[in-house]
Structure 1
Amino acid sequence: MHQVPEDLLGKWLKGWSISRGKPLPEPWKSGYRVLVGDETQKVRYVFPEINEDFIGLAESIREPWIYLKVCAPREELIRLIPQRWKMQPQGYMMYGPEKMDKHGKPMPKGYSIEIFEQQPDLFVVRINTENKGEAAIGRLIIVDGLAIYDRVKTEESHQRKGLATKVIKELHQIAVSKGVSQNFLVATGQGKLLYESMGWKTFSLYTSLVIKDEK
């Protein structure tokens, strides 16, 4: 595992914000803050490591639906934070290979691919069904020479057909066409297995905490 540089964390978080149409991150002490504004995620604070800033914030916050996120394993946090915080499933910051097999398996019959630039440096790859319904989708955001992959998803009824792999490879080809060779994302435990099969490696564990409204 690696120590996550603050500038790398900032680039990824900026890409995350652009992908989801949220305000850009702002520096907050030794980490970052994003004013997300959702009902079940009002604010997120993100830190490159467990430190006094992170622990002090965890001790001071009592309001529900504020997320704390840190590049560290869950096990290191259990005894450091108040019990009101609920651990979320382990996340994985991952970096991808500079080159990927751009061909792979052919697209399954009945599907078509759509690629478009949603806004400058934000690209969307979508795989559609014959009736133009969405089967799989993913986004690529380029931030200061870093290709950030986000919101890669396959609808349940279309899973296990290689569609997510196709989306990722198409996104990668966009990054290559823009002269970007550094690839980065945050995966769930399930997604991690898919990315590993394509040559991605874990850079750091990524842990999320939240106080939930029990009313």
Structure 2
Amino acid sequence: MQKKVSKDIIEKWLKGWSLSRDLPLPFQYKSGFKINVNDEKQKARYVFSELNDDFFQLANSINEPWIFLKVCASFDDFKDKIPEKWKVQPQGYMMSCVSPMNFSNTILHDDYKLEFEAYNSTFVVKIVTKNNELASIGRVVIVDDLAVYDRISTEINHKRKGLATFLMKELEKIALSKGVSNNFLVATEQGKYLYESLGWELYSLYTSIVIPAEKSKI
């Protein structure tokens, strides 16, 4: 059974998500939160820590495409309670970790070097080749007592070289230097296995639904 999800953590994570992407900060919408993303394929997102009447009211009232509803629940818990116009997206996994993460003897090969940037409350770590080709990148945002990890990715021709693990180690160093050891992120199916190997645990399923453009006229 889905455990109770902290609305406070969801709010902090959403703030970090917004700061990382240089978007407007989330604001409360009834029992959940809303972010105006203003992207062609994601106009806005509503996020709820649990299934409730506010979530279902939106699911029934929204007809516009590319507005996402997101909730800390399994799709099976509500798929029969929403109109068919909504399409489920790939499963997300909210994950948490209290430092330290589990790192083996992780070293960066001589073919690569580190670069650092910062903006808002966001710290960016890049792993690049000697020719300045981007190999891996990730961000950590400090929101009060929470370190929000976001947009962790490795370019396809640089995968399976331990870069993502090394990147996470560098991001954790930044969080610890700020006195923060409570870590949070949302993982894809593929990323989930990496984070589990580093000591992260599942906090909650995170399910997203949207009305695609071709379904919006139904």
Provide the residue aligned with 1:62 in structure 2.
63
Q: Which runs of 5+ in 1 are unaligned?
A: none
Residue 76 of structure 1 is matched in structure 2 by 77
Q: CA deviation digits over 1:68-100, x for unaligned, max 9? A: 000001111211111000000110000013112
User: What do residues 167-195 of structure 1 show as CA deviations (whole Å, max 9, x unaligned)?
Assistant: 11110011111100110000001000000
TM-fit CA distance, 1:101: 4.8
Contact residue 92 and residue 189 of structure 2 kept, 8 A = yes
Cα distance in 2 for residues equivalent to 1:190 and 1:110: 25
Q: Which amino acid aligns with 1:147?
A: A
Q: Deviations over 1:42-93 (max 9, x none)?
A: 0100000000000010000011000000000111121111100000011000
- What displacement does 1:102 show? 5.8
Give the structure 2 partner of residue 203 of structure 1.
203
Amino acid at match of 1:2: K
Amino acid aligned to 1:24? L
Q: Is the 8 A contact 1:65 1:213 kept in 2?
A: yes
| Aligned twin of 1:20 | 21
Match of 1:111?
112
State the Cα deviation string for residues 2-59 of structure 1 (Å, max 9, x = none).
3211111100000000001110001000000001000010010000000000001000
- Distance between the aligned counterparts of 1:103 and 1:171, measured in 2? 16
Contact 2:113 2:128 in 1 (8 A): yes
Q: Which residue of 2 aligns with 1:92?
A: 93
Q: Give the conservation status (yes or no) of the 8 Å contact 1:101–1:169.
A: no
The alignment partner of 2:19 has SS state of: helix
TM-score, scaled relative to structure 1: 0.96
Aligned pairs for 1:1-215 (under 5 A) are 2-101=3-102, 104-119=105-120, 121-214=121-214
TM-score between both structures, scaled by the size of structure 2: 0.95
The percentage of counterpart residues that share the same residue type is 55
Q: Any idea what SS the aligned residue of 2:108 has?
A: coil
User: Secondary structure, in 3 states, of the residue corresponding to 2:38?
Assistant: coil
Unaligned 5+ runs, structure 2:
none
Say what the alpha-carbon RMSD is for the aligned residues. 1.3
Question: For 2:193, what is the secondary structure of its paired residue?
Answer: helix
The offset of 1:103, in angstroms, is 6.5
- Number of residue pairs the alignment of both structures matches: 214
SS across alignment from 1:214:
helix
